[in-house]
Amino acid sequence: MKKKLLLLIFISCFFTVFTYAQYAQVYPTNWWVGMKHNKIQLIVRGDHEGLSNEKVTISYPGVTITGTHKFSNSKYLAVDISIASTAKPGTVNIVFASNGSTSKVAWPLDARRKGNGTSYAQGVQSSDFIYFLMPDRFSNGDPSNDHVAGMRDQSLNRDSIYHRHGGDMQGIINHLDYIQSLGATTLWMTPVIENDMPDRTEHGYAFTDHYKIEPRFGGEKSYLQLSNELHKRGMKLVQDAVYNHVGYYHWMLQDPPDSTWLHRWPTFTPPNYKEQVFFDPHASTAEKKQMADGWFTAQMPDVNQSNPYVANFLIEHAIWCVEKFGVDAWRIDTYKYCDLDFMNNCNQALYNEYPKITMFGENWNESVANQAYFAKNIFNTKFKSNLTGDVDFEFLFRGIQPALTQEPWGVNQLYQTASLDFLYQDPTQNVVFLDNHDMSRFFSVLDENVAKQKMAIKWLLTTRGIPQIYYGTEVLMKGISNPDGWVRLDFPGGWDGDTRNAFTGAGLSDDEMVVQNLVKTLGNYRKSSSALKTGKMMQFIPGAGVYVYFRYDNNQTIMCVMNTSDAAKTIDFTKYAERTAGFTKAISITDDKTYNTTDKPQIGSNEMWVLELKK
């Protein structure tokens, strides 16, 4: 009899909790005690009309309702709460009362993570090396999540560049040894938040529920596991933020609190893609509005960040992700299309809670000055950005790319672009790269010239800033970005049955192996090189296609010699006496060759030396 009674009690409790959990969705889905950000605006979303008219109460020590706000859509209610410093972890019951009946939602109030700034929210710096990948295209570690019932996109076809391929976070976890073997200290992935769209879901940039991790990647459990595994290795996690837009099937479009959560246009209106309107003193107001408020695509409606409820929602979600998943830094998508005042507020909220966290924004611009405007800079302008750094498109398109494709004079553009670093407060916080998921792979840009690819990698890992390598660049993956699917192909060896395996080296060509080993050699050398990680940079005016720059500090001097011409060149160390004086030998980091600084050795065509100077 007692057993039956206990069973009935259990069943009753189970269905009570189940009912409470389903009564309404609350965003953020939980919070933590001891946070500086302790005044939270809960967005409550129900599945029935009239929720906004219900009386809401909370009876929990240290948690107080300070206000409620209705929307035109009566399924929604905003509830402002304050969490006192005395509040303890536990379950906060949010009670909704209407017509004499009550319903509850259990809202967790948790203990904070330990190690703010030391084991998470550490930021990424020039001492780091970022490995960037697309989870769907890297490795399939758990085929059971390839299809998830009920989701709109049920494609799974590796023969199509646009369908899902099945890669997931377990696949990444399985190969962290490989990523770390390259010398990488940090992992950045394309977005891992749910994208329940009908097609083209492999890239992840169309969120449909901010508070769900993509189940086809393994969901919240796998993301937490990946974060933990990275941090156990002393590695870091970068999350990809998308503040500018959501996916078409997000509730912000399908069933919004009101019409002001998204920017609305009579017909589909994209941005004008001219960032100049934000700082041009002669700019049209209408064109400025189109740049900020235009929809990125017809399937990605633009979020109205000037709406205070939307702003609170996005800021709290960003803080929630850092605390929930142990995020160390942010890469921010489509930064220049956002409301810039909102971005400063959002960034500052993260800095306040996590003083060591850093952020780098995607600002694909038309000049170095334009790019610098969106990060911390020296400009005396009305708007001053507080963004830590930029994704350095300018160093790519006006630097290393012309240097290796417009010989012999293109290298002067690399010199010129580096000379404009004075526009930034701290150019070492910019993320330097060769290619990514939106552009042609660098090996293809170089017409598959292996020698030039090796030069590019040597530059990437020795120049100023935070180096980032796109998955497969280290094994000469190629592809042209029109259409973009060709630059998002599968990493060899990530799927059972792959005949080529970059993790083990099976089936790789000699050239692929050489370039992979080059990345490993320089990437790991960089870990212990104070000059490359945090040293100063000095460059010399290029001559006849030869460009020389130094990375140096009080403990180490690295000399980088790049010959972009089609002929061998003689190197006279005394020409660079400002940095070579006092040193007698120059030792190649990549092949152990040694040169006497009194000699005048020749560097081959399309060759680059990375030399450590010794006394």
Average pLDDT value over all residues in the chain: 95
Is pLDDT above 60 for 6? Answer: no
* CA distance to 2, 42, 188, 330, 487, per residue, from 435 (Å): 67, 40, 14, 19, 9
Is pLDDT above 60 for 19? Answer: no
For residue 595, give both structure tokens. 């040169």
Confidence of residue 281 (pLDDT cuts 50, 70, 90): very high
Predicted confidence at residue 592, as pLDDT, reads: 82
What percent of the chain stands above pLDDT 90?
95
Confidence of residue 407 (pLDDT cuts 50, 70, 90): confident
**537: β partners:** 551
Give pLDDT tens digits for 391-402: 999 999 999 999
> Mind listing the domains of the chain with CATH numbers?
2-108 (2.60.40.10), 130-532 (3.20.20.80), 535-614 (2.60.40.1180)
Cα separation, 374 vs 339, in Å, equals 11
What percent of the chain stands above pLDDT 70?
96
Residues involved in catalysis: 333, 362
Cα dihedral across residues 250, 254, 256, 258: positive or negative: positive
* CA distance to 134, 293, 305, 536, per residue, from 297 (Å): 21, 12, 18, 42
Give pLDDT tens digits for 364-394: 999 999 999 999 999 999 999 999 999 999 9
Predicted confidence at residue 408, as pLDDT, reads: 77
> Picking from 8-17, 184-193, 493-502, which range would have the lowest pLDDT averaged per residue?
8-17
Give pLDDT tens digits for 555-579: 999 999 999 999 999 999 999 999 9
Query: To which residue do tokens 């630059």 refer?
Result: 487
Give pLDDT tens digits for 298-320: 999 999 999 999 999 999 999 99
**4-29 average pLDDT score:** 56
Predicted confidence at residue 22, as pLDDT, reads: 63
* CA distance to 27, 344, 419, 449, per residue, from 41 (Å): 8, 19, 46, 55
Query: To which residue do tokens 């890992």 refer?
Result: 461
Cα separation, 54 vs 105, in Å, equals 13
